[in-house]
């Protein structure tokens, strides 16, 4: 979470000079969305984070305006010759074009200077429109490639650029686009290789409404500059998960962090001066043409006071632990084959009178796991559902609980359910 104020998309995730850096969309002056800055924190272990000064603030003609709707919008980071490059979208609703692509550089990872030649891409191409944002940069062989989210005629698109020096960019074309059902605007596209597979992650919009991000494992041809989609899957079935971004660290792990919130949500925490958070860092792996997500191993350093419950059977309600700490990790395996019930589950963060609780329900007949937060304190009310398979007659759940959040990993990370509330 930011020290104060508003937070949304993670930006510029990068491992630089022995440390992890996370930047994020931030309004340091209010818990409401406003002129966008890049907040900044760093860590040596992905667990303990040090807040740093604002990395980017709106200040130039291409990212500043006289009305509320302007700023340094989302982007990414890359390291070249020991320098850190931040790529971002300069936005001002008063300007035409409204959104352009820009870069800022640093030699120490803390102080950043905007390039005097900004914007490095000063207008959208013929295949896009004024909604033209969220540059993600990667290197492949001798070239750097940038994909930018856009749309045209009701079709979300990822637009591809190529460069040798990170300053001069050549437009290549549409690298991937919606099949007509995947949103009419693609935000925060992320294209990368993992376990000898090519993966595309997209946060889609339908009109003005944002939906759950999806991923597809396909084939990226750098000869034709085209990505061919494979099967499309929901990245996280939770109600508060958007704008994920990935990066690679010095252990060659592909790590993902997302915004733990969603547009148009009810946010009681704004009364306390803050809004939004980041998910726990997840390591990604491709197994059998599926993307698996698990908490990074460093989570083990947080563990203490282990409570180990051996195999047991219960009917009706059974109190497992009446004093689970606010921040907890739960690992539980249900033996479905031995169950005579069609529906069962777990209540967490329950009040003493039981009137407030978050329900995790397994529906055997529908083969679903549900997170029901209609009684979860003062936050958004919803029921999230994820389809599941029972492996050898069993179902494994790994649950991360924190003061305002729950992240649920199903069957080794093959499915995810995540949500954030001001009081769970």
Burial 7-25 (b: 16+ CB within 10 A, else e): bbbbbbbbbbeeebbbbbb
Report d(CA 401, CA 395) in Å as an integer.
19
Cis amide prior to 97 (ω within 30 degrees):
yes
* Sequence-ordered list of residues with C-beta below 8 angstroms from that of 356, at least 6 positions apart, any chain: 349, 350, 375, 376, 377
Report d(CA 280, CA 235) in Å as an integer.
15
CA angle 396-402-404, nearest 5°? 120
Report d(CA 32, CA 377) in Å as an integer.
21
Query: Are 40 and 53 contacting, i.e. CB atoms less than 8 angstroms apart?
Result: yes
**Phi first, then psi: what are they for 85, rounded to 5°?**
-110, 130
Q: Is 45 a catalytic residue?
A: no
> Quick one: which of 345, 350, 348 has its CA closest to 388?
345
Report d(CA 419, CA 146) in Å as an integer.
31
Query: Are 236 and 3 contacting, i.e. CB atoms less than 8 angstroms apart?
Result: no
Length of the chain: 424
> Quick one: which of 240, 229, 300 has its CA closest to 276?
240
Q: What is the DSSP string of 168-223?
A: S-EEEEEEEE--SSS-SEEEEEEEEEETTEEEEEEEEEETTEE---EEEEEEEETT
From the candidates 9, 184, 198, 236, give the one annotated as an active-site residue.
9
Q: Could you give the residue numbers annotated as active site?
A: 9
């Amino acid at each position: 979470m930011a020290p104060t104020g508003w937070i949304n998309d993670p930006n510029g995730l990068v491992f630089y000079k022995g440390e992890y850096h996370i930047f994020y969309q931030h309004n340091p002056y209010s818990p409401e969305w406003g002129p966008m800055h890049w907040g900044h924190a760093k860590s040596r272990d992905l667990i303990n984070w040090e807040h740093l000064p604002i990395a980017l603030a709106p200040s130039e003609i291409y990212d500043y305006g006289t009305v509320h709707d302007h700023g340094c919008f989302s982007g990414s980071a890359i390291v070249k010759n020991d320098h850190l490059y931040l790529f971002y979208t300069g936005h001002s609703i008063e300007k035409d074009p409204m959104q352009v692509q820009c870069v800022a550089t640093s030699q120490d990872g803390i102080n950043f200077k905007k390039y005097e030649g900004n914007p490095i891409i000063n207008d959208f191409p013929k295949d896009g429109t004024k909604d033209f944002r969220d540059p993600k940069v990667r290197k492949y062989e001798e070239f750097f490639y940038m994909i930018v989210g856009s749309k045209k005629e009701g079709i979300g698109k990822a637009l591809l650029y190529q460069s040798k020096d990170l300053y001069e960019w050549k437009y290549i074309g549409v690298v991937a686009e919606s099949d007509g059902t995947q949103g009419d605007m693609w935000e925060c596209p992320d294209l990368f290789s993992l376990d000898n597979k090519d993966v595309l992650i997209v946060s889609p919009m339908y009109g003005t409404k944002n939906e759950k991000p999806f991923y597809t494992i396909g084939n990226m041809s750098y000869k034709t500059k085209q990505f061919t989609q494979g099967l499309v899957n929901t990245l996280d079935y939770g109600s508060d998960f958007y704008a994920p971004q990935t990066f690679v660290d010095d252990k060659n792990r592909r790590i993902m962090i997302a915004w733990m919130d969603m547009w148009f949500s009810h946010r009681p925490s704004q009364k306390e001066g803050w809004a939004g958070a980041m998910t726990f860092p997840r390591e990604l792996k491709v197994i059998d043409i599926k993307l698996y997500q698990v908490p990074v191993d460093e989570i083990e350093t947080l563990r203490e006071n282990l409570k180990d419950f051996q195999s047991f059977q219960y009917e009706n309600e059974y109190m497992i632990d009446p004093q689970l700490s606010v921040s907890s990790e739960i690992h539980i395996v249900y033996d479905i084959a031995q169950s005579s019930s069609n529906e069962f589950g777990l209540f967490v963060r329950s009040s003493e009178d039981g009137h407030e609780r978050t329900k995790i329900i397994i529906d055997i007949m529908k083969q679903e796991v549900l997170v029901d937060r209609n009684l979860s304190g003062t936050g958004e009310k919803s029921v999230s559902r994820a389809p599941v398979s029972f492996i050898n007659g069993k179902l494994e759940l790994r649950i991360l609980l924190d003061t305002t959040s729950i992240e649920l990993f199903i069957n080794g990370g093959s499915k995810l359910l995540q949500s954030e509330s001001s009081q769970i």
